Amino acid sequence: MGSTTSKPSETRVFQPKTPIDFSETLLSQLESSNETNFTRKQLGEKFVEQRVARRLAELEDETLKKFESKLDGSLIKKDDEKDSLTSDLLNEKVNSLDQRLAALKERDDQKHSKFAKHPTRQQLTACLLENKGKPLNCYNQIENFKKFVEENS
Q: What domain range includes position 93? A: 81-111
Round to whole Å and give the CA distance between 31 and 25.
10
Determine the pLDDT at residue 6.
Answer: 62
Residue 1: pLDDT over 60: no
Residue 4: pLDDT over 70: no
Which of residues 49, 75, 101 is at a domain's end? Answer: 75
Determine the pLDDT at residue 130.
Answer: 92
Round to whole Å and give the CA distance between 150 and 19.
72
The share of the chain scoring above pLDDT 70, in percent, equals 87
What are the phi and psi torsion angles at 33 (to 5°)?
Answer: -70, 135
Q: Are residues 68 and 86 in the same domain?
A: no
77 close to 93: Cβ distance less than 8 angstroms: no
Q: Are residues 67 and 40 in the same domain?
A: yes
Does residue 27 form part of some domain? Answer: no
Q: How many domains does the chain have?
A: 3
Q: Are residues 124 and 105 in the same domain?
A: no
Does residue 56 form part of some domain? Answer: yes
Round to whole Å and give the CA distance between 141 and 126.
10
Does residue 126 form part of some domain? Answer: yes
Does residue 62 form part of some domain? Answer: yes
Determine the pLDDT at residue 15.
Answer: 81
Q: Count of CB atoms within 10 A of residue 138's CB? A: 20
Q: Are residues 107 and 138 in the same domain?
A: no
Does residue 23 form part of some domain? Answer: no
Q: For residue 5, what are the CA distances in angstroms to 1, 10, 94? A: 9, 12, 71
Q: pTM (2 decimals)? A: 0.32
Residue 134: pLDDT over 80: yes
Largest interatomic CA distance in the chain = 89
114 close to 139: Cβ distance less than 8 angstroms: no
Does residue 7 form part of some domain? Answer: no
Which of residues 75, 93, 126 is at a domain's end? Answer: 75
Instruction: Give me the amino acid identity at 102.
Output: A
Determine the pLDDT at residue 5.
Answer: 61
Q: Count of CB atoms within 10 A of residue 91's CB? A: 10
Q: Select the more confidently predicted residue: 89 or 108.
A: 89
Determine the pLDDT at residue 7.
Answer: 64
What is the average per-residue pLDDT within 1-10? 62
* Lowest model confidence (mean pLDDT) among 21-35, 65-79, 117-131: 65-79
N-terminal to C-terminal alpha carbon distance within the chain:
56
Q: Select the more confidently predicted residue: 110 or 26.
A: 26
Instruction: Give me the amino acid identity at 67.
Output: F
Rounded (5°) CA angle 29-35-38 = 160
Give residue-wise pLDDT tens across range 45-55.
999 999 999 99
Q: Are residues 90 and 71 in the same domain?
A: no
Does residue 51 form part of some domain? Answer: yes
Residue 115: pLDDT over 80: no
Q: Select the more confidently predicted residue: 53 or 74.
A: 53
